[in-house]
Amino acid sequence: MELQGKTAIVTGSARGIGEGIAVAMAREGANVVINSRKEQDCVATVEKIRADGGKAIAIAADVAKEDQVIAMVTETVKQFGRVDILVNNAGIESPPMLLKDIPEEIWDRTLSVNLKGVFFCCKAVIPPMMDQGKGKIVNVSSVAGVRMTFFGGANYTASKYGVIGLTNHLAWELADSHINVNAIAPGAVLTPLAEQGTTQEYRDMTTKRLIPLGRWCTIDDLGNAAVFLASDRADMITGQVLAVDGGALTGFGEDLRPVIRQRMADMQASHDAKH
């Protein structure tokens, strides 16, 4: 098992991507803290992990509130004796709107959870990780933090760019403490919520236009990436952004490839004719 005996906090892990990451880490032997703002929301994930023979506890905390984050980390150390892995997954989206129409409270709430929450959680785990002489921090950003979001607003894009900037800075700052800090940038992910909120026609259309590998990411895809970055196999990887997006960041989907390939063939034929 990749993470045997290690302790991981996965924020926003009651459902969706966070749940998938938490389950994957438990499967690899980690003791996992399941987190959400309400403890009752975590029960199903905790029970799922325990039913598979894993170890998990629920700790409620709003990551946008520093006192609650400190209490979560303190309780984790009390329960398991250490914290080896932090996965900053908790995040929110808001209805897509133009920048000129975004209310200040929506902007502030998005940045508070998606960016300030990462700051609070990292700040809280750094001292115990330093005491241990090692740690792994995995921040869940988005392809929106590398390019932009097609499906949300500028508030979401700004928050996810911030996560990647924070990741890079912390990786440098914490390297001599042997704390690795990396980010995952998911593309379109087929969570239960996404499946309910989109039609098959829409998913097929976005896949054809945006995803060269021909499908949306699964929760397991994200779990596998997080386990790798949290494992000893990634000891020499820090300050990196691992895009789990089916190739979406290449910028070329299925409908563009034939055009580009034909142009290349035409150029080669023209070159051959001249020579």
From CA 142, how far away is CA 164, in angstroms rounded?
Answer: 9
Q: Which two tokens stand for residue 21?
A: 């990451």
Contact 137, 83 (CB under 8 A): no
> What is the CB-side half-sphere exposure of residue 195 using CA atoms within 13 A?
8
CA dihedral of residues 124, 127, 131, 133 (deg, nearest 10):
80
From CA 61, how far away is CA 84, in angstroms rounded?
Answer: 19
Q: Is 156 a catalytic residue?
A: yes
Parallel, antiparallel or unpaired: strands 135-140 and 85-88: parallel
Of 119, 156, 216, 228, which is the active-site residue?
156
Please give the single-letter amino acid code of residue 57. I
Contact 217, 245 (CB under 8 A): yes
Q: Which two tokens stand for residue 52?
A: 């598979």
List, by residue number, the catalytic residues.
156
